[in-house]
Structure 1
Amino acid sequence: MRFANVGTLETVPGRRDDLVALLTRRSDRLAEIGCLLYEVGVGEEHPDTVFVLELWESADAHRASLRLPEVRAAIEEARPWLTGEFGGFRFDVTGSPLRD
């Protein structure tokens, strides 16, 4: 069953674009372990917020990604730019009108 993770990451003022650059670094390894979609975005009405939309083959694949050395290193690199305020939700995908 596919797994979705949709979240918001609040950054300290002026660091949003740094976080976007970090989160959008090319990573073929994510696809190899089951990431189907990883989209990063921003909105003018939230100048210090980064939005992330992830779709995974399974919740296990998502958990496995958090153990990858390059993901752990990126988390450590981003930590000083984050306020600690995170939002979002996770869910098991039950269907889509775009596929059978």
Structure 2
Amino acid sequence: MSKYGMQAIFTAKTGQRDVLANILLEAAAGLQSIKDCELYIVSVPETDPNAVWVTEVWSSSEAHKASLSLEETKAAIQRAKPLIDGIEAVELKPLGGKGIIS
């Protein structure tokens, strides 16, 4: 089974980036006990006041899909939706590197 990755750029509604980032950081904290989530990083670029980037690596695409059915995940999505103007996401196949469990 190969690893699954995703790079997502969330465009927050004007003035809502920090609120959205905090919701995503809470989601990241909730994933600490999920073994199949190997990496979940929330970042903001200094050049875009509305963007929040999320980088994820999972043991498999099935593990990622399963995480979306967790009650905490569903609640975070519902809280975040009204703050989001758009999402660009790219699914990736992580090959390796520092921080990736082989």
Q: Aligned to 2:88, what secondary structure does the other structure show?
A: strand
Greater fraction strand:
1
Does the Cα contact within 8 Å between 1:30 and 1:65 map onto a contact in 2? no
- For the structure 1 residues 56 and 77, does the alpha-carbon distance in structure 2 shift closer, same or farther, using more than 3 Å as the test? same
1:57-96 pair list within 5 angstroms = 57-83=59-85, 85-93=86-94, 95-96=95-96
Given the superposition, is the C-alpha separation of residues 97 and 55 from structure 1 closer, same or farther in structure 2, using an over 3 Å criterion?
Answer: closer
Gaps of 5+ in 2: none
Give identity over the alignment, percent: 30
**Shift in Å, 1:29:** 6.1
Compute the TM-score of the two structures, normalised by the length of structure 1.
0.87
Structure 1 residues not aligned, in runs of 5+:
none
After superposition, the Cα gap between the structure-2 partners of 1:15 and 1:30, relative to the gap in structure 1 and judged at 3 Å, is farther
- So what's the TM-score if we normalise by structure 2? 0.86
Query: Cα deviation per residue 1:23-53 (whole Å; 9 max; x = unaligned)?
Result: 1112146624x10000000011111010000
**Contact 1:9/1:50, CA 8 A, preserved across alignment:** yes
Runs of 4+ with >4 A deviation = 97-100
1:1-100 mapped onto 2 (5 Å cutoff): 1-25=2-26, 26-28=29-31, 31-32=34-35, 34-83=36-85, 85-93=86-94, 95-98=95-98
How well do the aligned residues superpose, as a CA RMSD in angstroms? 1.8
